[in-house]
Chains A and B, each alone.
Chain A
């Protein structure tokens, strides 16, 4: 079945460490996205990519980095510069343009700084 796989489901990080969250899709979607969700809040866009080797900052990109070397993969690195990284991270993908298509979301990675 086609879908999006995020791993790991739970991740613990020590302060000062960088961590990378994995996102893989087999839907042949061109666009991919990373969102952050804090308790009781909506989703906030971190980065998005419309095509391979291209990505744009979202609303809260500071302290995060991404790469898009393959169509299927869009990993997110949470760097030590991110001051409050504990959150629920969601990856999504969509066909070209969101006008007449929906997003497909992964099941998320819960990151905790210890």
Chain B
């Protein structure tokens, strides 16, 4: 399975934008880029996913590099409720998503 690389932790201030990076240099042409987030003692929550084009939804935006070897999850205005572990995952046609350790996002009031 193709792997992703994320920083272990990041810090942000409330109401400021947050850019969470992810490198996936071995991504295949059919792999979708998924982002999930997990609060303590809860199951992960789907955030966003995309293939080639940038994607927007009510939670976040996903910016995908032209060569698809990296992507960035953008939270436009961080709130305290956005503090979580964020996972960047590649999903192909094999029904499996492989989760790494993710990025722990701390949001300061």
Contacts and interface: CB of A to CB of B under 8 A. Distances in A.
Interface of A: 4, 31, 33, 35, 40-45, 48, 50, 58, 88, 90, 92, 94, 97-100, 102-108, 110
Interface residues of B, number: 24
A61 B23 CA distance: 29
B43 A90 contact: yes
Interface residues of chain B: helix, strand, loop or mixed (majority)? loop
Interface of B: 30, 32, 34, 36, 41-46, 49, 51, 87, 91-93, 95-102
**9 A-B pairs closest in CB distance:** A105-B43, A102-B46, A43-B99, A98-B91, A42-B99, A42-B101, A42-B100, A105-B44, A90-B43
Nearest to B47: A102
A43 B32 contact: no
B96 A45 contact: yes
Contact of B42 (A33, A50, A58, A107): A107
B101 A108 contact: no
Contact of B97 (A88, A103, A107): A103
A36 B91 CA distance: 18
